[in-house]
Amino acid sequence: MFRTTFLGSAIAMGMALLGASAWAQSADPFEHGWKLDAESSELQFLSVKKNSVAELSGFATFSGVINENGAAEIRVQMDSVDTKIDLRNVRMRFLFFETFKFPEAVITAQLPADQLTDLHVSRHKIIDLPYRLELHGLTQERTAKVAITLVDNDRVAVANAAPIAIALPDFGLEEGRGKLEEAASVDILPFGFVSFGLVFDRAQPGTPPQLELVAATPGAAALETKGDLDREACEGRMEILSRTGNIYFRSGSARLSQDSIPLLTNLHDIVRRCPSLRIEIGGHTDSDGSDAANRALSERRAQAVNDYLVGQGIARERLVTVGYGETRPVTSNDTADGKRRNRRIEFVPIQ
């Protein structure tokens, strides 16, 4: 009888504890707010090349919060794009996302309290969630089907419940796609699919969740060669930088535009990490004007880049300046776009 009574008491106590636990989970789904557990979360995108080859990539560094009113914000460090291949990461940063100009992507949404008040009972909900995406300097408003799962009272998982398609023209990424296709000699479809699995922990009472500051360094937390680069890595990066087209001058001028500084800052970092190499800075023009004038202009423009790097601490003897004028076009000068592409600065390791 003692055993029966003890067992019954234990069961009753267990039921009481379970009931108390369920009761402790607030009907307010946003109580105290939530902070992203980045190490337990993932943000990925799928691209398709050669019409049938799918490649899954992701981002290594992002942060997020949901405040006490259900306003959600995710910030993605675009330099942390990770394809698991070093030079492919560099191409994605410089040619596609242009992270030197657009370092972050921002996703914001307002979670609907009226649809989530019983989450502490149902534990799992699938909702249609309107959101805003700021990417590559452009903003679009969309709606995603999202699954929200209450893991326990202090932990919630949020994931897409259906594929999220992103059309590259909607975010000004078509030119970047063309640069990638040319650099990798492959066809890439003009859309991608985004997926995410985000885990949030409830904030402590009285301490509203704050977005973490993310270090704006190239390849933060992604696959990235650290320290000095070997020759292959240097050559690959110089080729990629030569394809960006993001060093600007006024028409007929050799004065660097301020818009060039973000790319030049990254160029300086890479040249600094290739200490054993001398580097040719080659200037190129379109076919407008005389051969002699174009050669002189291209040399002055290359020299302006040389002077910038020297001013940032690169030894002058490591740099060689050449003006090629219009003699080495990469495409026809018959169109305005062709002329724009032919006006460029290229970087070639020569020793």
**What is the domain-level CATH number for residue 340?**
3.30.1330.60
Tell me: do 189 and 278 sit in the same domain. Answer: no
Q: How many Å apart are CA 36 and CA 347, to the nearest integer? A: 41
Tell me: do 246 and 159 sit in the same domain. Answer: no
Per-residue pLDDT reduced to its tens digit, 48-76 = 999 899 999 999 999 999 999 999 999 99
| Longest CA pairwise span in the chain (Å) | 109
- Of 187, 202, 217, the domain-final residue: 202
Residue that has been written with the tokens 């049938």 in this structure: 52
Tell me: do 263 and 156 sit in the same domain. Answer: no
**Predicted pLDDT at 27:** 64
**What is the average per-residue pLDDT within 266-287?**
95
Minimum mean pLDDT among 10-24, 39-53, 141-155, 311-325: which range?
10-24
Q: What percent of the chain has pLDDT over 90?
A: 82
Minimum mean pLDDT among 111-115, 151-155, 217-221: which range?
217-221
Tell me: do 57 and 195 sit in the same domain. Answer: yes
What does the mean pLDDT of the chain come to? 89
Pair 246, 260: CB distance under 8 Å: yes
The number of folded domains in the chain is 2
Contacts of 33 (CB under 8 A, 6+ apart): 65, 66, 67, 68, 202, 203, 208, 209
Whether 180 is covered by a domain: the verdict is yes
213 pLDDT band (50/70/90 cuts)?
low
Q: In 159-168, which positions are buried (b, 16+ CB within 10 angstroms) versus exposed (e)?
A: bbeeebebeb
pLDDT score of 26 more than 60: no
Minimum mean pLDDT among 58-62, 206-210, 298-302: which range?
206-210
Tell me: do 43 and 181 sit in the same domain. Answer: yes
Range with top average pLDDT, 25-39, 207-221, 302-316:
302-316
> How many C-beta atoms lie closer than 10 Å to residue 351's C-beta?
10
**What is the average per-residue pLDDT within 39-54?**
95
Return the structure tokens found at 23.
């009761």
Whether 38 is covered by a domain: the verdict is yes
Per-residue pLDDT reduced to its tens digit, 159-194 = 999 999 999 999 999 999 999 999 999 999 999 999
Beta bridge partners of 282: 322, 346
**What is the domain-level CATH number for residue 167?**
2.40.128.110
Whether 215 is covered by a domain: the verdict is no
Whether 2 is covered by a domain: the verdict is no
Residue 184: Cβ-neighbour burial (10 angstroms; 0-12, 13-18, 19+): middle
Whether 236 is covered by a domain: the verdict is yes
Return the structure tokens found at 35.
């902070």
Secondary element (H or E) of residue 179? helix 174-184
Whether 116 is covered by a domain: the verdict is yes
Helix (H, G, I), strand (E, B) or coil at 291: helix
Tell me: do 189 and 100 sit in the same domain. Answer: yes
Tell me: do 196 and 263 sit in the same domain. Answer: no
Q: Residue 229's closest CA among 264, 265, 270, 281?
A: 270
Q: How many Å apart are CA 218 and CA 285, to the nearest integer? A: 30
Residue of higher predicted confidence among 220 and 271 = 271
Q: Residue 266's closest CA among 113, 103, 74?
A: 103
pLDDT score of 348 more than 70: yes
Tell me: do 258 and 178 sit in the same domain. Answer: no
**Predicted pLDDT at 12:** 46
**Predicted pLDDT at 21:** 38
Tell me: do 190 and 128 sit in the same domain. Answer: yes
**Predicted pLDDT at 208:** 82
**Predicted pLDDT at 1:** 45
Tell me: do 297 and 183 sit in the same domain. Answer: no
Listing DSSP states for 90-132 in one string gives HHIIIIIS-TTT--EEEEEEE--HHHHTTHHHH-EEEEEEEEE
pLDDT score of 340 more than 80: yes
What's this model's pTM, rounded to 2 decimal places? 0.87
Residue 317: Cβ-neighbour burial (10 angstroms; 0-12, 13-18, 19+): exposed
Pair 172, 138: CB distance under 8 Å: yes
Whether 11 is covered by a domain: the verdict is no
Tell me: do 31 and 133 sit in the same domain. Answer: yes
Whether 4 is covered by a domain: the verdict is no
Tell me: do 127 and 263 sit in the same domain. Answer: no
- Of 150, 182, 202, the domain-final residue: 202
Which domain does 111 fall in, by range? 27-202
Which residue type, as a one-letter code, is found at position 183? A
